[in-house]
Amino acid sequence: MDSDAGWAEGARQFQQIFGDGWTKMLQALQPVDMGALSAALKPHQPVGFAPGKLAELQQQYMESARALWSQGWQAAPPQGGDKRFSGDGWAQNPLSAFSVAAYQLQARTLMGLVDAVEADDKTRARIRFSVEQWLAAMAPSNFLAFNADAQKKALETQGESIAKGVANLLHDLRQGHISMTDESRFEVGRNVATTEGAVVFENELFQLIEYKPLTPKVYERPFLMVPPCINKFYILDLQPDNSVIRYAVSQGHRTFVVSWRNPDMSLADKTWDHYIEDAVLTAIATVQQITGAPQINALGFCVGGTMLANALAVLAARGEEPVASATFLTTLINFSDTGILDVFIDESFVRLREMQMGQGGLMKGQELASTFSFLRPNDLVWNYVVGNYLKGETPPAFDLLYWNSDATNLPGPYYAWYLRNFYLENNLIQPGKLTVCGEKLDLRKVKLPVYIYGSREDHIVPIGAAYASTQVLPGKKRFVMGASGHIAGVINPPAKKKRSHWLREDGKLPATLDEWVQGATELPGSWWDDWAAWLKGHAGKQVAAPKCYGKAPKFKAIEPAPGSYVQQKA
């Protein structure tokens, strides 16, 4: 069996085993528009291979394949520290050890082929992304026939784990997504999104929540938070000890938050302009009317930050300055670096989306959630496939993952316009290129002071892209870099004393992030306290805290926080 023909036949059989199983299940659980995905990942430039590298890879592959095939069931235990194969069973089970060795050989070879591709950078990135997705799906750990740990558990439980796994699979098929946490342990308004407040205004797009003061005095300038409409607002209010909202209230800010409606077909024609004029600008004006403040402070998180930047540019074009300062958390304003999401975006993909929903329709929340999950497939997809279905485990209760599974739809025209004008054409940083709410946008006119935060390991808003906002906003700026990723870096309360952050006290903001980092100092713990000190400097004097919500007679408490809009499911 050490001949080339023997190896080829063995490899064919092995590949055949790997060719079925979970793909159909994942398609059922994670409904993705495969036409759009195919259009996004298809290479649009000719692809070739560096001949020298290809020949070297072929030789290495055949030599390694012969050696592996000659070892047979005596293959060495899994190496490399891959947590998917770290259990004792993988080393003790010859079939499992062999399957991992063969898989790792295939993975090394395929990634070597990716490195040998001769094409433009975007095509190479697309090929790499596609290969990584395939490798993540075809790992031996995803198959009961090879997963020694799952087999061991099945024997120890006398098959109960398999029965529980089937029940988990049927449950997830009914609910339409893979369970990342025990969702039965959470309820919005009961043990997440519990900061006390009331809805004081609503229209068809959002509810405005005012929170009860926790201090006898509040700053005269109220504080408005604009979360991303791609998610539910309570990422900012998970638990009392990690709530950004509660923290702001405890610092003496009269705090308001936009809670987005989860769109259904009645909102299928809503555009970007609707969300800026009838939501962000309306929220700013409503906070002013309720509080009587000439100016407010505002915060935008992720897409909410992009929307806030648009709203500020519209106000500047109108000669209005109702916002005294702005905070941008993991926000894209300059879209020249969109990280891994760039593999999806080109003219063909955007045009397809415009044809599908540019004039009306919904971008389904589950499709958005699936896309973001598959950016980290081993951690956010296959890890749960193995635990939930092969081992019959119930994932632990985790508030952040509960929020992550609470999907939100988007109106099609809003989504298609956003893709073209920001992700594809990067029009926001081009003065006068965009017209929003009837106004030509020019960020050079947005001269208010800003606080800009980026997460060092963010795969959605790369840290360099967050830093790039410092180069397009002309006002006085403070930039801070936090550890961890898109969400964990933001939701990092000081009391936890976790992670770290970086600051430059000299205030310099050079052209690139690398230059900024060279002069930055790493500080232990959260960045929240630094932000709170900055925001305090823009909040004005303190006044007596209000005794009731809203302002009679026009703005009365409609219902308790967190309101009804956040309860709507996609």
C-alpha 510/C-alpha 524 separation (Å) is 24
Handedness of CA 451, 314, 345, 205 (dihedral sign): positive
Under 8 Å between Cβ of 258 and 311: no
SS3 per-residue string spanning 50-112? CHHHHHHHHHHHHHHHHHHHHHHHHCCCCCCCCHHHCCHHHHHCHHHHHHHHHHHHHHHHHHH
> Distance between the two ends of the chain, CA-based, in angstroms?
55
Count the neighbouring beta carbons within 10 Å of the beta carbon of residue 502: 19
Measured torsion, CA atoms of residues 27, 29, 31, 37, in degrees rounded to the nearest 10: -50
C-alpha 227/C-alpha 240 separation (Å) is 18
C-alpha distances (whole Å) from 290 to each of 206, 245, 246, 278 are 16, 19, 20, 17
The greatest distance separating any two alpha carbons of the chain, rounded to the nearest whole angstrom, comes to 87
Quote the DSSP letter at residue 288: H
C-alpha 222/C-alpha 298 separation (Å) is 8
Q: Is residue 548 annotated as part of the catalytic site, yes or no? A: no
The residue written with tokens 């947590």 in the block is 83
Token pair for residue 308?
């806030």
DSSP 410-424: EEHHHHHHHIIIIII
C-alpha 249/C-alpha 238 separation (Å) is 15
Residues designated as active site: 302
